[in-house]
Amino acid sequence: MSITILGIESSCDDTSAAVIRDGFLLSNLISSQEVHREYGGVVPELASRAHQANIIPVVDGALKKAGVGIGEINAVAFTQGPGLMGSLLVGSSFAKGVALSRQIPLVAVNHLQGHVLAHFISDDKAQDHPSFPFLCLLVSGGHTQLIIVRKPLEMEIVGQTIDDAAGEAFDKCAKVMGLPYPGGPVVDKLAAGGNIHAFRFARPIIKGLDFSFSGLKTSFLYTLRDRVAGDPDFIAKNKADLCASLQHTIIEILLAKVEAAAKKFGVTQVAIAGGVSANSGLRKAMTELGDKHGWQVYLPQLRYTTDNAAMIAITGYYKYLAGEFSPLDIMPMARIPLL
């Protein structure tokens, strides 16, 4: 008998629904909320209202695109957290409604686990999946973690940021340059035309496998402040070089710890995941580092890097196979440990 899972993701500012059958993706619809752009960041109350407006059409669209009737769904998986409480409540309430009305199991999914397991989505593009155990660098707007993945549902965080996340470093520095939110993709594009050695920003000295980005952010801010004092057009004239140097520094900080973690745990399978794993510089540098060490490097398809319900559905599928179901009174959690 085939297993069909409906996945729902609503942790931040993307409303998404996906249908996965036996691990194969049939549909993955994402409605991104443009309303936050003018505020330079996500406004939680607006996000939750937009989720309410979007959730029914997005789920309906995902089912139609998959050619699957609601009666064919075996379980509904949803993002339990971490994320914005108002946003999580919309997806979790909707998922509960589906589970209750259809009398099917409810599966709560950790958003971070979803990002990692995005590597196991099968679709019409044939891609190799990592084999276990592997090391995953999870880099998003809210998290920066090094994770040893022993089995689909067995993960251990071995290093993480002690302050800002890598995506936050991109977004905050972009904001200082007057770039639109989210800044990561904009910096990525501008960096392509810049010199990575034009500016030098502070690198943290953090022992072990943890990361820190607050020093870099401050150093970036002070550089701009000092240079703009001498030339009001400094940012406009140097945007590409600033972006290239900033991106290069973030990548160096990340990869130094990836190298140390791979060595410490003796792994040769290395993956990246999360929104920042869409970064072209990181993807290139990761591939080069893999070549240097003889690692097998796994880069997620771009459509599975930022928030999406396909990753929630695939995690739901593994949890379904393991019989990990949730009661209907389960609550979303804004903060939640990986496992």
Choose the one of ligand KG4, Zn ion, none that binds residue 31, judging by a C-beta under 5 to 8 angstroms depending on kind: none
Distances (CA, A) of 7 to 73, 99, 180, 331: 10, 12, 30, 17
Helix 166-176 and helix 214-230, axial crossing angle in degrees, nearest 10: 10
Task: Classify 15 as helix, strand or coil.
Answer: strand
Binding mask 268-307 toward ligand KG4 (x if CB under 6 A, else -) reads: ------xxx-xx--------------------------xx
Choose the one of Zn ion, ligand KG4, none that binds residue 183, judging by a C-beta under 5 to 8 angstroms depending on kind: ligand KG4
Q: Which two tokens stand for residue 157?
A: 């965080």
User: How far is residue 293's CA from residue 333's CA, in Å, rounded to a whole number?
Assistant: 39
Choose the stretch contacting ligand KG4; rule: CB under 6 A; options: 26-34, 58-66, 177-185, 208-216: 177-185
Q: Which is nearer to ligand KG4, 181 or 265 (CB)?
A: 181
Question: Residue 182 interacts with ligand KG4 (CB under 6 A)?
Answer: yes
**106-110 β-sheet, strand order:** 24-32, 14-21, 4-9, 75-81, 106-110
Taking the complex as a whole, the smallest distance from the CB of residue 139 to ligand KG4 amounts, in Å, to 8
**Contacting ligand KG4 (CB under 6 A), which of 86, 130, 159, 167?**
167
Question: Residue 183 interacts with ligand KG4 (CB under 6 A)?
Answer: yes
**Contacting Zn ion (CB under 5 A), which of 179, 273, 307, 316?**
307
User: How far is residue 91's CA from residue 79's CA, in Å, rounded to a whole number?
Assistant: 7
**144-151 β-sheet, strand order:** 154-160, 144-151, 134-139, 269-273, 296-298
Interface with Zn ion by CB under 5 A: which residues? 140, 307
Q: Which residues lie near ligand KG4 (CB under 6 A)?
A: 12, 140-142, 167, 170-171, 182-185, 188, 274-276, 278-279, 306-307
